[in-house]
Amino acid sequence: MSVPLWHDKVFGSLELLHSGDRLTLTRQHTGSTWLLNGTIFARELRPGLECSASVYNILNQKYRTPGGPEHRQDIIAQDGTTFLFKMQYRF
């Protein structure tokens, strides 16, 4: 979901992701999880300037994914809350 926050230049968005329970190669269960991500995006604050700030896994959910045959681990723990800031200038 994305909504304008200020003069069609700044937008806020939320993303809700669900992953169901999965079996690993050794038939263990990873469990299901819900993840919430959010972003604020600003375009043309100055000519050619775009910025965004994102927070992934806002609720710091502990979740795991199955490893493949190339991994030593059968179940791989995933990152908690992470942040990304991006600034782009075009001329």
The per-residue pLDDT for range 55-74, each reduced to its tens digit, is 999 999 999 999 999 999 99
Six-digit token pair at 6? Answer: 């200020």
Query: CB–CB of 9/45 below 8 Å?
Result: yes
pTM across the whole model: 0.83
Look at residue 8 and tell me whether its pLDDT is greater than 90. Answer: no
Query: CB–CB of 33/60 below 8 Å?
Result: no
Average pLDDT over residues 34-58: 95
